[in-house]
């Protein structure tokens, strides 16, 4: 049994499906969209200690269960979406800023190093939590510092990459942490050349990944020295499905949902593929996408 929130800015039973790239999942019991740190603090003052809280970015790495999330979802907006280039050429962005906007703002200002973000449909906060990366770089390599709020103690800290304990598609941040803002290292660059690089990355994605479909990027992390997609492909699992979700024909580490898909279908397919890979190779794949809520006999708590 969890607590309740009585606050004018907090909505109840807000459908979550439209806020994730898989477009599945039930409602959030409580929902807030703070536009400033003052708004955020005001809502947090009303949150009972026993209520689970989850910060949502662009929902491009999350699957909420069909029964939804029995807590408060915070989706930062307003000032958390800002992106600008600072006096020293660093790029400063709010925790909710979309990564493609970060890449494009930097390139237009002649600042190089963040082009890889153009192909990752997440937010700055999600990228720091997940150490998102691609095309030879990752968040750990380009981050100068992140401003992090501890949702429990309400302390705000400026953290360096070392303090964020980055690893492959992970950081030391947990659900009690919210990235408010971050700054990124860049080098001088030529805007037309940087725009060209953005186009190359976008084209590469279109040619190699099932863009424009319902998915959440790579389903599994790559095991050491191997590619999860190649392992799944070698087992002949392209097209393998559960309900209205199938292993992509284009890239076997992307599982693509159809319009009738449920969160349960995604969960079942991830479990089935993982089991087949383990039986055939002994490798236990670790999911990169994150499941939140109740899945059959399992409750996945944030």
Catalytic residues: 169, 218, 288
C-beta closer to ligand FAD: residue 81 or 276? 81
Q: For residues 109-168, which are near ligand FAD according to CB under 6 A?
A: 119-123, 125-127, 129-130, 132-134
∠264-62-158 over CA atoms, to 5°? Answer: 155
Q: What DSSP string describes 79-129?
A: GGG-EEE-TTS-EEEETT-BHHHHHHHHHHTTEES-GGGGG---BHHHHHH
Strand partners, 138: 133
- Regarding 181 and contact with ligand FAD (CB under 6 A), the answer is no
- Regarding 100 and contact with ligand FAD (CB under 6 A), the answer is no
Count of beta carbons in the 10 Å neighbourhood of residue 253: 24
Name the token pair of 70. Answer: 């029995």
Rule CB under 6 A: choose which of 189, 217, 229, 293 binds ligand FAD. 217
Reference 63, options 231, 285, 270, 249; nearest CA is 270
Least CB distance from residue 169 to ligand FAD, whole Å?
6
Q: For residues 17-36, which are near ligand FAD according to CB under 6 A?
A: 21
Least CB distance from residue 12 to ligand FAD, whole Å?
20
Rule CB under 6 A: choose which of 25, 27, 34, 59 binds ligand FAD. 59
What are the helix (H) ranges across the chain?
A: 37-45, 99-108, 124-130, 139-142, 191-208, 228-234, 263-281
- Regarding 290 and contact with ligand FAD (CB under 6 A), the answer is yes
Rule CB under 6 A: choose which of 65, 147, 186, 215 binds ligand FAD. 215
Classify strands 156-159 and 83-85 as parallel, antiparallel or unpaired.
unpaired
Rule CB under 6 A: choose which of 16, 33, 52, 60 binds ligand FAD. 60
Residues lying near ligand FAD in the complex (CB under 6 A): 21, 54-62, 95, 119-123, 125-127, 129-130, 132-134, 169, 173, 177-179, 215-217, 290
């Amino acid at each position: 049994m969890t607590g309740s929130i009585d606050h004018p800015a907090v909505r109840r039973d807000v459908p979550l499906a439209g806020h994730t790239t898989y477009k599945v999942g039930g409602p959030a019991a409580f929902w807030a969209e703070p536009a400033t740190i003052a708004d955020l603090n005001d809502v947090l003052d009303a949150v009972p200690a026993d209520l689970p809280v989850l910060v949502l970015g662009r929902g491009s790495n999350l699957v909420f269960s069909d029964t939804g999330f029995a807590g408060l979802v915070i989706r930062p907006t307003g000032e958390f979406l800002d992106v600008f280039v600072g006096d020293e050429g660093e790029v400063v962005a709010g925790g909710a800023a979309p990564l493609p906007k970060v890449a494009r703002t930097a390139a237009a200002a002649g600042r190089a190093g963040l082009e890889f973000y153009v192909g990752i449909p997440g937010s700055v906060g999600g990228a720091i939590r997940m150490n998102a990366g691609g095309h030879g770089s990752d968040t750990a390599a380009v981050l100068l510092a992140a401003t992090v709020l501890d949702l429990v103690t309400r302390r705000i800290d400026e953290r360096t990459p070392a303090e964020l304990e980055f690893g492959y598609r992970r950081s030391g941040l947990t659900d009690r942490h919210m990235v408010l803002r971050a700054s990124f290292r860049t080098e001088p660059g030529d805007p037309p050349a940087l725009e060209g690089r953005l186009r190359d990355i976008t084209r590469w994605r279109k040619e190699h990944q099932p863009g424009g479909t319902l998915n959440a990027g790579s389903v599994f992390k790559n095991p050491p020295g191997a590619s999860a997609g190649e392992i799944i492909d070698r087992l002949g699992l392209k097209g393998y499905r559960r309900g209205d979700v199938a292993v992509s024909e284009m890239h076997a580490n992307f599982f693509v949902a159809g319009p009738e898909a449920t969160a349960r279908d995604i969960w079942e397919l991830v479990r089935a593929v993982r089991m087949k890979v383990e039986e055939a190779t002994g490798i236990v794949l670790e999911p990169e996408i994150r499941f939140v809520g109740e899945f059959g006999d399992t409750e996945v708590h944030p």
